[in-house]
Chains A and B, each alone.
Chain A
């Protein structure tokens, strides 16, 4: 770690991991309700549990992105963060806002719009947090070295904040409501978040493989071009059956099919860079998460996305368990794993240690990935069965729900595996290996 202000990332990563645990515990509870439908129905209804599961996910990923930016921008810009004070204030404001939102949900205070359930005042707080962050990062970038990695990360963060503004526009017409709702949801995860992910992966690859920065930057430009070219109009694949004109079926099908390309490019990029640059970096776990992220994002976002993106197929699969199958693996593969990669990479530096608990960390990688893959497979099987019984054969929804119940038991089991993996990860990150703590951070940083 070369710059004092990189330490600002530390509380962000701690909060991210804390909320990660809360998120998967919420998921575990929701998965249990699927198997025992009346569980807690009076005290914490399912929709509240689900709200906590999805909101905690988004908030911890944002904590991770903020932390990643505070960690890598100084190193990229070769200067300290503009205002450490703002960064600390921003952290507490965001944490208190998130906690207030969760407590509010438990008491039934929410706006009810899926994923954007936060009460207005919390939404305003999120915007203030984002503005503090963007001011801080942009000022840092202006006075420092401007690299492709830091520019694209910052552009991604600006986009994230700008598209969130559509959360404030809530038309009463349901079709228009959904149309603009996707401006936040889709243009985040299939637009600007991909820029953030590509930038963080590029940073990690530059640091860990010692490959020439120029090579990485060229790939980054290609990935970003492909992402924006396919992802923006790819929004059309959400406009199939919600009251928007029929031509969206063509626009959505064509562009979102091509959304696989940037994810494929990320896989090729990551493996080519690692093959060329070598994998001698001492933080093997971080390298594993980096490569794993590329692969799992390709399958979760790319392959499982394509599975139901063509309009004639989506006509049958819309709103079935195929959607959560895709949603779970895509979020995990792309955004959870990129966060776990940067946290794994940064924590030893932040704590002033050699890479520690590597074996335990890599175990958590395989346990989490296996659990998520199994969860995806069983939800896909449930979705295919549901599609056939309900949409092709015309059997009633509730009857079909009974038929696919078995898969929800399997999903719960896979959820337990994931939670175990998460707990191992967090333990591996936070526990102290005394020998290594004493050794301190002695090895030189990887060359650029």
Chain B
């Protein structure tokens, strides 16, 4: 039987991406899921624009905008951690990553305030289609922020450059998704 030669790594196009290739499979899967969910949101809004606008008026745009800045800042700090590690600054890298995680945790705190406000106002996942999707999409994203913080914690501990790149790639996916969620669910009229 012929032996087939493979490029180093053998991951094909995935080999050229930073971090672990399986992480990119996960990232694309996540983007497909959030893409499909936001697509579903767009279709549901098309079917009931007035209802969606009325429900959207209950959302807190200030807290949404604040959280956008929080996540982008955290993403920037994670990128700095990767750069520091690439330059060989182990402790500097760890400090950047710790800062990134601390800022990331602020997102969770703000989001919990938001959820509590909504639930106090009697708006829950069964209220209407808008809120079903609001809770599903932002809730699913919320779980990813928690998972992201855990991943960042692990790669700060086992901080090879590849691990840091893998963790940062996931973290950037999490803030990329938020940057799509915020305008589409909070802002678009």
Q: Among B25, B33, B126, B133, point to the contact of A225 (Cβ < 8 A).
A: B25
B132 to chain A, nearest CB (A): 5
Contact code string A210-225 (vs B, CB < 8 Å = 1, else 0): 1110110010011001
Q: Given the known inter-chain contacts A212-B3, A218-B10, A280-B1, please indicate yes or no for A247 contacting B132, CB distance below 8 A.
A: yes
Interface status of A290 (Cβ within 8 A of chain B) = no
Q: Among B6, B36, B125, point to the contact of A257 (Cβ < 8 A).
A: B36
Q: Given the known inter-chain contacts A215-B4, A254-B33, A447-B1, please indicate yes or no for A222 contacting B25, CB distance below 8 A.
A: yes
Asked whether, in the complex, the Cβ of A251 is within 8 Å of the Cβ of B4, the reply is no
Q: Among A210, A212, A254, A277, point to the contact of B37 (Cβ < 8 A).
A: A254
Interface status of B11 (Cβ within 8 A of chain A) = yes
A236 to chain B, nearest CB (A): 11
B13 to chain A, nearest CB (A): 12
Q: Given the known inter-chain contacts A222-B25, A230-B29, A245-B126, please indicate yes or no for A250 contacting B3, CB distance below 8 A.
A: no
Interface status of B150 (Cβ within 8 A of chain A) = no
Q: How many residues of A contact B (CB 8 A)?
A: 31
A219 to chain B, nearest CB (A): 10
In the complex, what residues of B have CB within 8 A of residue A257's CB? 36
- Closest A-chain residue to B1, C-beta based? A210
Interface status of B65 (Cβ within 8 A of chain A) = no
Interface status of B142 (Cβ within 8 A of chain A) = no
Q: Among B11, B26, B32, B126, point to the contact of A258 (Cβ < 8 A).
A: B32
- Closest B-chain residue to A280, C-beta based? B1
B173 to chain A, nearest CB (A): 14
Complex Cα gap A214–B25 (Å): 17
In the complex, what residues of B have CB within 8 A of residue A250's CB? 37, 40, 132-133, 136
Q: Given the known inter-chain contacts A218-B11, A247-B132, A247-B136, please indicate yes or no for A254 contacting B40, CB distance below 8 A.
A: yes
Asked whether, in the complex, the Cβ of A447 is within 8 Å of the Cβ of B10, the reply is no
In the complex, what residues of B have CB within 8 A of residue A289's CB? none
- Closest B-chain residue to A265, C-beta based? B25
Q: Among A221, A229, A276, A278, point to the contact of B29 (Cβ < 8 A).
A: A229
Contact code string B88-127 (vs A, CB < 8 Å = 1, else 0): 0000000000000000000000000000000000000110
Interface residues of B (CB under 8 A from A): 1-4, 6, 10-11, 21-22, 25-26, 29, 32-33, 36-37, 40, 125-126, 132-133, 135-136
Interface residues of A (CB under 8 A from B): 209-212, 214-215, 218, 221-222, 225-226, 229-230, 245-247, 250-251, 253-255, 257-258, 261, 276-278, 280-281, 446-447
Q: A258-B36, A447-B3 are in contact. List 4 more A-B contacts (CB 8 A).
A: A247-B126, A253-B40, A258-B32, A278-B2
